[in-house]
Chain A
Amino acid sequence: MKLPPGPARRALRCVAGGASLALVLSGCSASEDVVTLDFFQFKPEAVANFSAIIDEFEAENPGIRVVQNHVPDADTAIRTLLVKDKTPDVLTLNTNGRYGELAQACVFADLSDLPVVEQVRPAVSGIVEDLGSCADGEVNAVPFSSNASGILYNRDIFAQYGVEVPTTWDELIAAAETFEAAGVTPFYTTIKDAWTMGPAFVNLGGALQPEDFFDRLRAEGPDVASGEVSFSKDYPEAMEKLTTLYGYGQDGAAGRDYNAGNAAFASGESAMYLQGSYAIPAIRAVNPDVNIGSFPYPATNSPEKTVVVSGVDVGVSIGRDTEHPEEARRFVEFLMSPDVVERYAQEQSAFSPLATGADTTDPALAGLAPYFEDNRIIGFIDHQLPASLPLPQYLQALVLGGRTEDFLATMDREWSKIAARTIPNEKD
């Protein structure tokens, strides 16, 4: 009897080849020299995309099996795994401040000698570098896809009410007023999920904060109250503008979460939506025909000052102590091959981090793409905040009717307390 190659035959041969319990438990890898890679994948929207990529990789590399593990709340899950000393072989993580903390703790392998590192756009690899690494010159994550955070809008609704894409803050407010007067919700807001206030915060805060705000704040350490820069001194305008935008949300926003927001925006319940490019696949999953456009936050009345917030949405890393470094590198190289990266960017409405990559053709991103080409990009400022500072929760309390002064004072106080109790290791 001949069976086609694949799991069925593997299992059968496994049983035939003296099925001791240990072999069965280990997936029969020992008997066939199949290496199983534990692949930690953080993005719930992309499970199917990665499954397809893994199938192709396994077809080309019969000796390697990749098991995709996906859990909700990946940031917590990875920390829990690390506490248990179970670093996955290959992992994708949102390249944010938490990634930076892990990289500095030397959790990830050095990938600087991977050929593909050279092919990444320097501006993009710079974002990852700034977050920190185990040692100078090490590359602990390769950027797989970039995102952009702006305001999404419904082109059809804009056309219906004759509203132009706003380029200044006053035009944005005027547009919101027009929609509200016409009975259309200007922004669909989702206050139940605390993190969804983050995009507006990083855009307005990032555009309006003084130069080197976080470097100076870090230098002040615990003495924020008496220092030169602080949230209370430098963030009132950004926070006033944030609460203004949330004032144009729909009724009952406090009980609506991210999924509800995606569904509502997809079915045309609001003219605009305060979410980044990463939400587009989820919105299209609800309504593939929705006519999405995008524009950057016009934080001021000077259009030339407008910037787009961009980050590395997905970074690929290898566990530092993986038992299969060779196989892990082969998988990472496969992931980073241009056609895999390009196809993923297309499918997930993301930007390709590769220098050779074509510019995005997604109409939903057309409003943000020029800012990439002109390099008018800033990073996510919340990546500069320590993870133990519960920014999303504080933003949520503010938007639900808190006072701006209280929010800013809390931010300063928490920053100062965390700075005071963070005791660095003595480096040897």
Chain B
Amino acid sequence: MSTHVSGPRTRMRPERRAPRVFYLMVLPALALFAVFHTVPLLTGMFFSLTNYAGYGEWSFVGLRNYVNLFGDDRIYGAYGFTFLFAIVSTVAVNIIALSIAIALNGRIRFKTGFRGIFFIPNILSILIVGYVFNYLFSNSVPAIADALGITSLTTSILASADTAWIGVVILSVWQAAAFNIIIYLAGLQTIPTELYEAAALDGASPWKQFTSITFPMIGAFFTINMVLSLKNFLQVFDQIVSLTAGGPGTSTESISLLIYRGGFQGGEYGYQTANAVIYLFVIIAISFIQLRVLQRREASF
């Protein structure tokens, strides 16, 4: 390319710039994004400075909502549960999805059929699946445990504040694994088979092949899966609504559920909007840090 050999005085040639029409083509998307995303976001930030109940009259209260947030132990409880849940689920979903993806990428029978089956959870509505799991946990599992004489499972795990979160993890991981499997499969298919052939000739064990070839080669896919899963699990909502409704007590109340409950049912729209604004920044910060750390690891091999 001629531009590469240009001297320091040479300016970028006009054709290197994107033609104006490209910008015009982006405009509709930008407008839609602004109308449906940026404007509501800014409206929310505005209302977080008021005592708006969601209806009726309101006045400005400055930063008092934010100050009150820091003294609210119910919010700390929700943060504690959400982070515990999100970290456990992210680790579990990535281990499971990667294992299944590797299995599905191998030379097995009915490969396409299995891939289809493992993708099904992703297209089902979480709410509907959640009510099915709810029934299974509350009725089927205790009945089976009763018949088999497993006393520890004869009461529904959703019925105890100590174990209800496990039920939420099981449903969420089951549902989220499908999408992660697809991404890992896409990643696995980018690895040239020659690498494995060469490794096999050198006598590398399957585990060695995994740690030295497979995992490093899909580093970028691992990063994206980790970041997306953690972000999605931090926003957990449907799973909890259909499974435990935040209960028993408030033991599985996630931050999203608390914002929705307090804001819409509790008539504290302004206060919970402030909570949502803070949570937005928390999620952005976590995703950013995660991306930086994981990408550095990616580059190092």
Using a CB–CB distance below 8 Å, which chain A residues touch chain B? 75-76, 79-80, 82-83, 98, 101-102, 104-107, 191-192, 194, 252, 254-255, 386-390, 393-394, 396-397, 400, 402, 413-414, 417-418, 420-426
Contact A394 B55 (CB under 8 A): no
Q: Produce 1/0 per residue, B253-271, CB < 8 A to A.
A: 1000000011011111101
Q: How far is the CB of B74 from chain A (nearest CB, A)?
A: 7
A400 touches B248 (CB 8 A): yes
Closest chain B residue to A402 by CB distance?
Answer: B249
Residue of A nearest to B241 (CB): A73
Report the stretch among B26-34, B59-67, B83-91, B168-176 that lies at the interface: B59-67
B247 adjacent to A194 (CB under 8 Å): yes
A132 to B: closest C-beta gap in Å: 12
Q: Is the CB of B249 within 8 A of A79?
A: no
Which residues of chain A are within 8 angstroms of B266 by Cβ–Cβ distance? Answer: 386-389
Find out whether the CB atom of B262 lies under 8 angstroms from the CB atom of A417: no
A79-B54, A421-B68 known; A254+B159 contact, CB < 8 A: yes
Is the beta-carbon distance between A79 and B250 smaller than 8 angstroms? no
Set of chain B residues within 8 Å of A426, measured between Cβ atoms: 59
Whether B155 and A255, one on each chain, are in contact in the complex, defined by CB atoms closer than 8 angstroms, is: yes
Cβ of B112 < 8 Å from any Cβ of A? Answer: no
> When A and B form their complex, what is the total count of cross-chain residue pairs whose Cβ atoms lie within 8 Å?
115
Inter-chain contacts of A390 with B (CB < 8 A) = 250, 261
Please tell me if the beta carbons of A421 and B160 are within 8 angstroms of each other in the complex: no
Give the chain B neighbours of A414 by CB distance below 8 A: 74
Given contact pairs A192-B159, A194-B245, A393-B246, A105 touches B53 in the complex (Cβ within 8 A): yes
- Are A254 and B64 CB-contacts (below 8 A) given A79-B54, A83-B55, A421-B271? no
Contact of B56 among A106, A397, A418 (CB under 8 A): A106
**A407 vs chain B, min Cβ distance (A):** 10
- Whether B53 lies near A101 (C-beta < 8 A) is yes
For the complex formed, measure the closest distance between the CB of A393 and the CB atoms of chain B, giving whole angstroms. 5
B71 within 8 A of A: yes
Give the docked Cα–Cα distance between A390 and B53 (Å). 17
B139 at the interface (CB under 8 A from A): yes
Q: B142–A255 contact, CB under 8 A?
A: yes
Q: Give the distance in Å from the alpha carbon of A194 to the alpha carbon of B249 in the complex.
A: 8
- Given A107-B55, A255-B158, A417-B71, A76 contacting B264 (CB threshold 8 A): yes
Q: Which applies to chain B's interface (DSSP): helix, strand, loop or mixed?
A: loop
Which of B61, B248, B250, B261 neighbours the largest number of chain A CB atoms within 10 Å of its CB?
B248
Chain A positions within 8 Å of B271 at CB level: 421
B74 touches A421 (CB 8 A): no
Please determine whether A75 and B265 come into contact, CB atoms closer than 8 angstroms. Answer: yes
Q: Who on chain A is nearest to B58 by CB?
A: A425
CB nearest neighbor in B for A104 = B56
Once A255-B139, A417-B71 are accepted as A-B contacts, the answer to whether A423 and B61 lie under 8 Å apart by CB is: yes
Whether a CB of chain A sits under 8 angstroms from the CB of B251 is yes
A422 to B262, CA, bound (A): 13
Q: In the bound complex, what is the Cα–Cα distance between A177 and B265 (angstroms)?
A: 40
Assess the A82–B55 pair: CB atoms within 8 A. yes
**Does B264 contact A79, Cβ atoms closer than 8 Å?**
yes
Q: Flag if A83 contacts B248 (CB, 8 Å).
A: no
B58, chain A: closest CB distance, angstroms: 7
Across the interface, do B265 and A421 meet the contact criterion of CB distance under 8 Å?
no
B143-165 contacts to A (CB < 8 Å): 154-156, 158-161
| Smallest CB separation, B155 vs chain A (Å) | 6
Are B248 and A397 in touch, CB under 8 angstroms? yes
| Cα of A254 to Cα of B72 in the assembled complex, Å | 28
Residue picked from B57, B59, B161, B249, most chain A C-beta under 10 Å: B249
Asked whether B51 lies within 8 Å of A254 as measured between CB atoms, the reply is no
Q: Which residue of A lies closest to B253 (CB)?
A: A393
Chain A residues with CB below 8 A from B160, complex form: 254, 400
Docked-complex contact A102 and B55, CB < 8 angstroms = yes
Please state if A425 and B51 are interface contacts (CB–CB under 8 Å). Answer: yes
Task: Give chain B nearest CB distance to A428 CB in angstroms.
Answer: 9
In this complex, what residue of B is CB-closest to A426? B59
**Bound complex: CA of A394 vs CA of B72, how far in Å?**
16
Choose among A393, A420, A421 the residue that contacts B249 (Cβ–Cβ < 8 A).
A393
With A83-B269, A387-B267 already in contact, the answer to whether A393 and B247 are too (CB < 8 A) is yes
Q: Is A423 within 8 A of B261, CB to CB?
A: no
Q: Which residues of B contact A389 (CB under 8 A)?
A: 266
Chain B residues near A83: list those with CB within 8 A.
54-55, 264, 269
Central interface residue in B138, B155, B161, B266, by most chain A CB within 10 Å: B266
Interface membership of B194, Cβ < 8 A: no
Set of chain A residues within 8 Å of B54, measured between Cβ atoms: 79, 82-83
- Is A400 within 8 A of B249, CB to CB? yes
Q: How far is the CA of A423 from the CA of B54 in the complex (A)?
A: 14
Alpha-carbon gap, A194 to B55, bound state (A): 27
- The 8 lowest CB-CB distance pairs between A and B, nearest first, are A397-B249, A105-B56, A388-B266, A254-B159, A255-B156, A82-B55, A421-B68, A255-B138
- Does B73 interact with chain A (Cβ within 8 Å)? yes
CA distance A425 to B71 in the complex (A): 22
For B268, what are the chain A residues with a Cβ–Cβ distance below 8 Å? Answer: 388, 418, 421
Residue-by-residue, is B79-113 near A (CB-CB < 8 Å gives 1, otherwise 0)? 00000000000000000000000000000000000
A255/B56 in contact, CB under 8 A: no
- How distant is the Cα of A102 from the Cα of B54 in the complex, in angstroms? 10
Distance between A192 CB and nearest chain B CB, rounded to angstroms: 7
A252 x B142 contact (CB < 8 A): yes
Separation of A252 and B143 alpha carbons in the complex (Å)? 11
Q: Quick one: which of B37-55 are within 8 Å of A by CB? A: 51, 53-55
- Assess the B249–A396 pair: CB atoms within 8 A: yes
Q: Are B55 and A423 in contact (CB under 8 A)?
A: no
In contact, A107 and B249 (Cβ under 8 angstroms): no
What are 21 A-B contacts defined by CB distance under 8 Å? Answer: A76-B265, A79-B54, A83-B54, A83-B264, A83-B269, A98-B267, A101-B53, A191-B159, A252-B156, A255-B158, A386-B267, A387-B266, A387-B267, A393-B246, A393-B249, A397-B248, A402-B249, A421-B268, A421-B271, A422-B51, A425-B57
